């Protein structure tokens, strides 16, 4: 799966979360598997490119690289209080 597609899925998920919770997402924590084929740097490049000029470009993203586990996972979402 290419990163652009992954970023699109994440943004759709966050938009659904905002609707569901009636809150704004300010930060997400993610884990990336080191053996999953997506590097942190490459993911962030695609994220930046895809969200340029949208409200998502300022989202705070914390990425933890893990040895084993799912290729990519959102482990935590923080909302604007
Ligand atoms: Zn790429």
Give the range of the structural domain holding residue 50, as residue numbers without chain letter.
3-79
Stated pTM of the model: 0.89
| pLDDT for position 3 | 79
Kindly report the CATH number assigned to the domain that includes residue 14.
Answer: 3.30.2320.50
CB 80 within 8 A of CB 45: no
Determine the distance separating the centroid of ligand 1 and the alpha carbon of 31, expressed in angstroms: 18
CB 4 within 8 A of CB 46: yes
Determine the distance separating the centroid of ligand 1 and the alpha carbon of 20, expressed in angstroms: 31
**Domain total of the chain:** 1
| pLDDT for position 26 | 98
Per-residue pLDDT of the chain (81 residues; tens, 9 = 90+): 577 889 999 999 999 999 999 999 999 999 999 888 888 999 999 999 999 999 999 999 999 999 988 999 999 999 998
Determine the distance separating the centroid of ligand 1 and the alpha carbon of 21, expressed in angstroms: 32
Determine the distance separating the centroid of ligand 1 and the alpha carbon of 44, expressed in angstroms: 10
């Amino acid at each position: 799966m290419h990163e652009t597609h992954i970023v699109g899925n994440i943004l759709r998920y966050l938009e659904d979360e905002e609707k569901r919770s009636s809150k704004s997402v300010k930060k997400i924590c993610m884990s990336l598997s080191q053996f999953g084929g997506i590097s942190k740097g490459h993911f962030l490049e695609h994220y930046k490119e895809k969200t340029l000029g949208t409200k998502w470009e300022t989202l705070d993203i914390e990425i933890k690289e893990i040895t084993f586990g799912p290729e990519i996972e959102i482990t935590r979402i923080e909302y604007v209080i």
